A and B are shown apart, each in its own frame.
Chain A
Amino acid sequence: MKKFSIIILFILMLSLVGQTVTFSQVLPKVPRHETLIVDALHGRLANPKDFNFWKPGVSVGNGAQQMLFDGLWYLDSQTGKVINALAQSEPVYENNFRKMTVKLRKGIYWSDGKPFTADDVVFTVDYLMKHPGMSYSDALNRYVSKVYKKDNYTVVFELKESVPAFHYLFTSIVYATCYIMPKHVFEKVADPLKFEFNPPVSLGPYVLKQYDPQGYWWLFERRVDWRRTSVGQIYGMPQPKYVLFIYYGPDEKKVMAQAQHQLDLIFDLTPESWEILRKSNPYSRVWYKDFPWAWMDDVRARIMAMNLEKPPFNNKDVRWALTLATDIVDVVTSGFDGIARVNPLWICATESLLKEYYLPMENWLKNFTLEDGFKPWDPTVPDRIVDYAKKRGYVVTGNPREIFGIGWWKYAPDVAEKLLVKNGFKKVGGKWYLPDGTPWKITITAPANFEIHATRLAFAVADQWRKFGIDVNVETVEAGPFWNKWNLGDFEVGSYWEVPATDFYTFVQGYHSRFYKPTGQVATSGNQIRWKSAKLDKLLDELVKLQPESQKAKAIVSDILKLYVEEMPAPVFIINLKFNSQDHYYWTNFPTSDNSYMAPVWWWGQFKFILPHIKPTGRK
C-alpha cells in the first residue's frame, strides 16, 4: 500500500510539473494569450532564413507571405470577392487591353519607415524583367513593353499585346501572387539570386521577430504602425500581437498540440486524426460545427485523370461508360464516410462557384443527353448522402445541396455496358474484354503517403470498376515520381486533383492545342491528360480576348464546362476537402460555415486579412 501511494504521489507530482510546463514550453518568453499559433505549411525548411520570395523555389507559406508581403489584389475563393490591397481600386484598361493603369493606396509604409509608392511597383517590374531566372521575369518580359509612374500613386503598364487578364499577374487568386519589392532594399542588390532578403523589410502588418535556424518555427510581431498597412486601412488592427508559425511534425503531434491548446490553426489532418482531436478537445472545430465538419471549398477537385493518348481512353464512350459504372454515393460513403461534396463539373463546387456556375447550369444538366438519348444527371445524390449520414447517427444541419453538392452522374451500369458493347468490348463471364480480345486491365496511379484523399478515391473507384467487371490495380507512388509520371503522361488513369476554381480563366489556357505535349514530353503548362479539341481551342481563343470578370467571359467559361461534360475527358468526383482545424480556446471568430467571411486558408497570402476579424477569448 505504501509503495502504491508513493507511485500515485509520483504521478501526481509529474502531472503538476507537467501542468506548469504545458503552457510555457512552446513560448516561454511570449504571452500565450497574445499569440496565435499556426501550423507551418511546408514543414521544416532547410533554409529558413531566406525571405527572397522572388527567387524561384523559395517557400514562403510558413508565415513570410502571410505576415510580411503584400500584393495589389486578392481574390477570395470563398466569397468570390476581390480585396483591393495595395491597389486603391480595380485596374483600368485602355487601348484594347494594351494599357493598364493602377491607382495605389496612399498612406502605406514599409516597416523601416519608408513610404510605399509607385516607385516600388515600377521597380519590381523593371527589376524582375532585368533579372532572368527570377520568378515572374519571363512572364513580365513576355507582356510588358514599358512600365512607368504617372504620379507617386499611379502606375501605368504598357503591354506588347492585348492582355485582358494582365492584372492576374498581380492578383493572389490561389496561394500567392507577384508581391511588391522594396525598391530601397533591392536597388542595392547586385545578384538577387544570391540575396536572402534577411532581415526582411515588411509591407504586411507584422515584422519578423525571431526564427529557428533549424527551420521549425518563425515568430512575427505586430507592427507598431499597423495602421500604415493595407490590412490596417481596410479591416483594422490584426488582433494577435504575435503570430507563431510552427511545424510540430506528423498529424499525431499536431493533434496532441491542439489538444493542449498549443496550436490554434492546423493546415490539414486525416479524417482519423480529426476524429481523435474532435473527441479530445471540445474547442476544436473545422468548417461545419457538425457532420461533415470538413472545409469543402478548396480550389481543386479530385479526378480520375485519363491519358487520352492511350487507348481505350481516347474513346469518349469508354470514358462515359467508366463514369456511369461508378456509384458516386457508394464511393463517397465507403471511401470518405460521407464527408464529401460531389463535383461533377470541371470547376470546383465552392460556395461562390456553386452560385456562379452550377446553379445557372442546372437546367442544362437535367436536360443533357448522351447520344442514345440517356439523361445521366442525378440530382438525388446529396439527399442520399444525408440519408447515409443519418443512418450513421450523424447530425446534419443546413441545406444538403450546399453541403454535399447539387448532384452527379447516375449509376447506370446497363447504359455503360451498351456504350462499351457498341465500341466492340465484350463481357464474358462477368469480365470485360477489349475490342482486340485481351482482358481489360486498368492501372490507377495514386499518391503514396501524401494526399490521402486521392489515394482513398483511387481505391474506392477501383472497387466500383472491379464490380463492373474490369481488372483494376492501384499503384501507389511517392511524391517525386508521382508528379513526373503526371507531367510525362506516364499513366493510364491517375488519381490527381487538377480542376480549376476561381482561377479557371488562366488555368484552362494551357489546354490550348498550341501548348500540347505528346506523352513522353513534359507538359508543364497543364493538360497532362493530353486533351485536344478544336472546339475547346475556339472557345479559348475567344476567352483570351475578354477580361475574366466580364459576363461574356463567364458565358464562355460555362460553354467550356458544357463541352467538358460532352467530351468527359476525365470524370471529376469530389472537391478537395480539408480538416484545417481551428482551436477556439484562446482565439475565436475564425471563418466557419456560420460566418463564412473569407476562405480559411492560413497558408495563403490572404490570411493577413483574417487576423483583424478574429477575437481573443480572454483566457490566459
Chain B
Amino acid sequence: MNLLKRYIIPRLIQYFIVIFIGVTVVFLVPRFTPLDPVVTVLNRMTSYGAQYLDPSAIEKLKDTMMELYGLKGSIWEQYLGFWKRLFKGDFGPSLSIFPTPVISIIANSLPWTAGLLVVVAILSWVIGNILGGIAGYYADKKWSKFMSIIAMSIYPIPYYIMALVLLILFAYIFPIFPMVGGYSIGLTPSLSLEFIFNVIKHATLPALSLILIGIGWWFLSMRSLTSTIVAEDFVTYAEVMGIPSRKILFQYVMRNGLLPQITNLALQIGGIFSGSLITETVFSYPGLGQLLYMAINNGDFNLIMGIAVLSIIGIATAALVIDLLYPLFDPRVRYR
C-alpha cells in the first residue's frame, strides 16, 4: 500500500501530466507556424492545373475547404474538438490526403516501422551489450582491442553514408537485395513462407544498417560501464573467492551494467513511433518517418498530431513502465 501511495500513484500522475502537456504543445506548435494546410493544398492544385479555374472560384474553394477541414472555429474550439476526438481514438481526417482518417494512415505504416525498429533495437541491444560486456571484462585481450577499434570506427560513420554504402554494395554492385519497398511486386500479403521470406529479404538491408550503428553504440557504452564495474571491490572479492570468470562476467559485472542500458532500450522502443526518416528514405522502406516529414511539409496538422501524440504516449509509457519495473531489476530501489 505504501509502495502504491509513495511510488506508483505519483508516477501515474506524472505520466498523465506529461502526456497532457505534450499533446497540448503538439496541438499549438503547428498552428503557430506560418503553414496553412488549405493554402498548401490549393498550391498543389494550382500547380497541377487547377489554375484553369476562375480566380473567384479558387477563393470560393478556399472557403469551402476551411469549412470541410474544421479550421473555421477559434483555436480554443478546435482544441476542445481535438480532445473530444482524441478520447474516441480519432485524430480526425488528414488535411493533405483529405478526408482519409489519420488513424488509418498511421495504422498502415505502423506495423512496418514497429516490425523493423523493435527487432533492430532488441537485436542491436543484445549483441552490442554482450560483445561490449565481454570486451570490457577482457579488456587486455587482443581480440577485445580489435573489436573496440571496429566499434569505434563504425559508430561515428554518419548513418546516411553507412546506409548508402550498404545499398550500393548489396543492391547495386551485387544486386542481392532489393532497392525499394517492403515486399516484391506481384506478391500478395499473406502468412505464406514465400511472403515472409520476401519481407525479411526486403528488411535485411535497412535492418543491417541500423543494427551496425546500434551495435556500435551499445558496445561502446557497455564496454565503458563494464570496465568501471570490473574495478569494483565486489568483483575483486568474487575473483579472490575463485568464482568462474564467466559467472563473474554475466552475473556480477554485466548485470550491474545492464541497468542504464535497459532504461535506454525502453526509451528507444518507446520512440519508434516517430519512425526512422533516413532509413525509410534511403531504402524506400515503408514507415512513419516519411509520413511525418510529408505532414510537416504540407501543414497537415492532424497527421502531425496523430504521429506526435503516439510518440509522446509511447515514450511516456516506456518511461513509466521502466519506472514501475525498476524495483524488479534493482534491489536498491526496492529497499529504498
Contacts and interface: CB of A to CB of B under 8 A. Distances in A.
**Size class of the contact patch on chain B:** 35 or more
Interface string B289-305: 01100101111000100
A368 interface: no
Contact of B175 (A21, A143, A173, A175): A21
A507 to B, nearest CB: 6
A484 B36 contact: yes
A526 B55 contact: yes
A28 B167 CA distance: 20
Nearest to B294: A46
A250 B175 CA distance: 18
A139 B180 contact: no
B226 interface: no
A213 B108 contact: yes
B144 interface: no
Given A257-B179, A481-B35, A25 B184 contact: yes
B44 interface: yes
Contacts of B45: 56-57, 135
Interface in A67-121: none
B49 interface: yes
B65 A249 contact: no
A566 interface: no
Given A28-B185, A249-B284, A522-B36, A173 B52 contact: yes
A370 B315 CA distance: 66
Interface string B17-49: 000000000000000011110011111111111
Contacts of B189: 213
B98 interface: yes
A210 interface: yes
B228 interface: no
A366 interface: no
Interface in B138-188: 164, 167-168, 171-176, 178-182, 184-187
A480 B64 contact: no
B49 A175 contact: yes
B97 A46 contact: yes
A511 B259 CA distance: 66
Given A14-B174, A214-B108, A219 B56 contact: no
Interface stretch (A240-248, A456-464, A577-585, A588-596): A240-248
B186 A46 contact: no
Interface string A27-43: 11110000000000000
A466 B250 CA distance: 66
Contacts of A256: 167-168, 171-172, 179
Nearest to B178: A25
Interface residues of A, number: 86
A215 B294 CA distance: 13
A85 to B, nearest CB: 15
A506 to B, nearest CB: 5
Contacts of B286: 44, 214-216
Given A14-B174, A214-B109, A506 B52 contact: yes
A29 B53 contact: no
Contacts of B34: 480-481, 484-485, 488, 490
Contacts of A171: 52
B49 A173 contact: yes
Interface string A475-489: 000111101110110
A460 to B, nearest CB: 24
Interface in A112-143: 132-133, 135-139, 142-143
A83 to B, nearest CB: 16
A418 interface: no
A244 B185 contact: yes
A142 B95 CA distance: 25
A214 B98 contact: no
A57 B299 contact: no
Contacts of A210: 185-186
B41 A56 contact: yes
Contacts of A309: none
Contacts of A509: 54-55
A480 B297 CA distance: 5
A507 B59 contact: no
Contacts of B98: 55-57, 193
B332 interface: no
Contacts of B283: 249
Contact of B60 (A58, A142, A219): A142
A275 interface: no
Given A18-B174, A249-B180, A260-B172, A524 B105 contact: no
B186 A525 contact: no
B112 interface: yes
Given A216-B284, A524-B42, A138 B60 contact: yes
A212 B185 contact: yes
Nearest to A484: B34
A522 B100 CA distance: 26
Given A46-B291, A247-B180, A524 B46 contact: yes
Contacts of A488: 34
B39 A26 contact: no
Interface in A214-271: 214-217, 219, 244, 246-250, 252-253, 256-257, 259-260, 262
A308 to B, nearest CB: 18
Nearest to A11: B174
Nearest to B35: A480
B57 interface: yes
A14 B181 CA distance: 22
A253 B186 contact: no
Contacts of B171: 256
A172 interface: yes
B175 A260 contact: yes
A47 B100 contact: yes
Nearest to A246: B180
Contacts of A503: 51-52
A47 B168 CA distance: 29
A253 B182 contact: no
7 contacts: A169-B53, A171-B52, A249-B282, A260-B172, A480-B33, A506-B51, A509-B55
Given A506-B52, A524-B58, 19 more contacts: A26-B185, A47-B94, A56-B41, A133-B65, A137-B64, A138-B58, A174-B51, A193-B68, A210-B186, A214-B109, A217-B180, A260-B175, A480-B34, A483-B39, A484-B35, A487-B36, A507-B51, A526-B46, A526-B55
- Which 9 pairs from chain A and chain B are nearest by CB? A29-B186, A525-B55, A214-B286, A139-B57, A249-B284, A138-B60, A175-B49, A18-B174, A139-B53
